[in-house]
Amino acid sequence: MKSYQEMTKEELLQEKAGLEAEYAKIKARGLALDMSRGKPSSEQLDLCMDMLDVIDSKSVLKSENGTDLRNYGIVDGIPEAKRLIAEIVDCKPENVIVYGNSSLNIMYDQISRAMTHGICGNTPWCKLDKVKFLCPVPGYDRHFAVTEHFGIEMINIPMSADGPDMDLVEKYVSEDPAVKGIWCVPKYSNPQGVVYSDDTVRRFANLKPAAADFRIFWDNAYCVHHIYEDKQAQILNILDECEKAGNPDLVFQFCSTSKVSFPGAGIAAISASAANIADIKKQLSFQTIGHDKINQLRHVRYFKDRAGIEAHMMKQAAIIRPKFEMVLDLLEKEIKPLGIGSWVNPLGGYFIGFETLEGCAKAVVAKCKEAGVVLTGAGAPFPYGKDPKDSIIRIAPTYPSLADLTEAANVFVTCVKLVSVEKLLER
Ligand code: PMP
């Protein structure tokens, strides 16, 4: 098969006519499908329903330290929940604060407190002329929305298959004291599924920031979210690496059980050095007397430990794997030979980051929409919603049924081909 780049104008025109006929047929079907939502399917959520039975009106709601969990108290999480989180991210329980139901909320709080009160005694960011954040792209739109909300200037850092471009990161961080942070999703990144290499993690841990209050916002959202049983990525432990590098305070690590148990009803946590944890706890005590300790206990009683979480995630993997494989097989078969797209085959996480020919992403998303298939808006995975090459599309295969997803993925493939042909004909 010839790639589109190798085709003559006449061959492209012929291809275009065929694709237009195919597209007209698709449109006539009046589809209403959605590949935009990075949410678990109801089948995945069903797996966790028994968690709601582990606590009832007869349960003894006491922590292992004797605290009555029905009452106020314990601002940093019950000891057994700290231990569960510590096992998930492989750190010491004393380095963990368990919060409420959302890690994004913790990230927002970290930035909000840095703005108003400062990190570890440093000048509050709101008193500075300029605050900047590095944003590996493509990345998670809600990260960028938080920094934009606080008026923080965002700087794009290109991603490679090993993680962010570390030469650029090192340069910005060491030279500019206005650079206060970087967003990272180190394992199975949103949206490309990239896993940071050991070298990348070590270079992060060894950063020499110009700002004393520079922090790496290490959002380990997908740390246990594998797609396969036999192919699982491992990343180096950032807290350990920072400690080894003599930079223990450099990182805030976030995680949650949103996509382990229930989004919106899981437990979320931050892990960091002793100095950071003490600083956060001091400020947190003005915000709350304690989070939902009954939900923390429910999670511990249900999952018990890391092995319990891992076993549960393998059940989820069995549900999402066929969906990812169907999309990846279709792209491999239909798109790869034509040379009109690239992607990383993810081993975990929730997304496939599809890269079109330059200048095609918006048009593909629009064409899909016209044919009844909703995708995440082009540009969403970039600061300010601006994809400089207009080429990244986030595909979220988990939520629809396999049948709906198969239809949607076929529509997507037709739209990518059609838009690519049109683009190449413009040359
Ligand atoms: N971080 C990343 C990278 C995510 O993809 C998501 C959810 N899609 C979140 C955080 C949100 O997590 P939570 O539900 O804990 O707020």
Residue 201 pLDDT more than 90? yes
Averaged pLDDT, 139-143: 97
Q: In what order do the strands lie in the sheet with 132-137?
A: 96-98, 268-271, 251-256, 215-219, 179-184, 132-137, 153-160, 163-164
Check if the beta carbon of residue 107 is closer than 8 Å to that of residue 217: yes
Closest CA to 346 of 396, 392, 380: 396
Query: 194 alpha carbon to ligand 1 midpoint, in Å?
Result: 16
Residue 258 pLDDT more than 90? yes
Percentage of the chain exceeding pLDDT 90: 99
Task: Please report the atom of ligand 1 found closest to the CA of residue 101.
Answer: 15
Averaged pLDDT, 91-120: 98
Q: Is residue 54 part of a domain?
A: no
- Same-domain check for residues 71 and 104: yes
Q: What is the pLDDT of residues 49-103, one digit of tens each?
A: 999 999 999 999 999 999 999 999 999 999 999 999 999 999 999 999 999 999 9
Number of domains in the chain: 2
- Same-domain check for residues 298 and 347: no
CA distance 186 to 421: 35
Averaged pLDDT, 218-222: 98
- Same-domain check for residues 294 and 333: no
- Same-domain check for residues 355 and 254: no
Query: 224 alpha carbon to ligand 1 midpoint, in Å?
Result: 13
Best of 39, 85, 190 for a ligand 1 pocket test (most atoms within 8 Å of beta carbon): 190
Residue 214 pLDDT more than 90? yes
Residue 1 pLDDT more than 90? no
- Same-domain check for residues 110 and 21: no
- Same-domain check for residues 147 and 198: yes
- Same-domain check for residues 175 and 198: yes
- Same-domain check for residues 39 and 158: no
Task: Please report the atom of ligand 1 found closest to the CA of residue 103.
Answer: 15
Ligand 1: residues with CB < 6 A are 38, 102-104, 140, 185, 190, 219, 221, 256, 258, 263, 268
Residue 427 pLDDT more than 90? no
Closest CA to 292 of 55, 1, 4, 111: 55
Calculate ∠ Cα 346-224-258, nearest 5°: 105
Q: Is beta strand 251-256 parallel, antiparallel or unpaired with respect to 268-271?
A: antiparallel
What is the domain extent for residue 392? 4-44+310-425
Query: 104 alpha carbon to ligand 1 midpoint, in Å?
Result: 6
Q: Is residue 52 part of a domain?
A: no
Q: What is the pLDDT of residues 5-31, one digit of tens each?
A: 999 999 999 999 999 999 999 999 999
- Same-domain check for residues 236 and 361: no
Q: What's the confidence (pLDDT) of residue 37?
A: 86
- Same-domain check for residues 94 and 218: yes
Domain of 207, CATH number, reads 3.40.640.10
CA distance 218 to 207: 14
- Same-domain check for residues 144 and 236: yes
Domain end (from 281, 304, 327): 304
Domain end (from 304, 321, 354): 304
CA distance 28 to 31: 8
Averaged pLDDT, 290-299: 98
Q: Is residue 347 part of a domain?
A: yes
- Same-domain check for residues 363 and 334: yes
